Amino acid sequence: MKCGSQNRNYTVPYLDTHGKAEFKYGRLEMRAKSPTGPGDSKGLWPAFWTRAADGSNGELDVVELPGGDQYYHSATQGIFLQYAPPVKQDHRTRYEAADPSSGFHTYAVEWEPGVIRWFIDGKLAWERTRATTSWFDAAFDKKHELRLNFQIGGWLGDPDSSTAFPATFAVDYIRVYQR
């Protein structure tokens, strides 16, 4: 990947539960500190999310923490229907006092039949239901696999000479509570 005037190689971490564990409903929670703060995080994109275990429709973004001046001050929650036609609903929750790199924050969803609620540090951030999302059951009435990754670059922008490396996405824990 090109960074400023130089080509750089990046190691991009990715973990999933594919073939190990699948989940349908419950609470998914992560406590993490993001590297995406003001001024030096363009092109960094940590995320905790799920995808339908059977490979069909359905993505649930517990949190995306993209860097860069236009994104770092907010956490993104989202749901996505990949096919026929692709549709995404997302919401950005602005941090009240700091940003995701200022310390550890807890990101969670409570996923039940017909409703998903997102929480940041214990406060409700967003909610989607069958009433807000006509394709809700097609995407979320099935088992999902967990995914955790720290992408470098992408549609939110690539790193540039101001991006600080090395960059660390520090994850304290991920917990799954099934109901």
pTM score, two decimals? 0.91
Query: 26-51, pLDDT tens digit by residue?
Result: 999 999 999 987 778 899 999 999 99
Residue ranges making up the domain that contains 140: 23-177
In a domain, 6, yes or no: no
Question: What is the domain count for the chain?
Answer: 1
In a domain, 92, yes or no: yes
At 2, is the pLDDT very low, low, confident or very high (cuts 50, 70, 90)? low
In a domain, 137, yes or no: yes
In a domain, 74, yes or no: yes
DSSP 21-81: --B-SEEEEEEEE-S--SSS-TTEEEEEEEEETTSSS-EEEEEE---STTTTTEEEEEEEE
The CATH number that applies at residue 166 is: 2.60.120.200
Query: 97-124, pLDDT tens digit by residue?
Result: 777 888 999 999 999 999 999 999 999 9
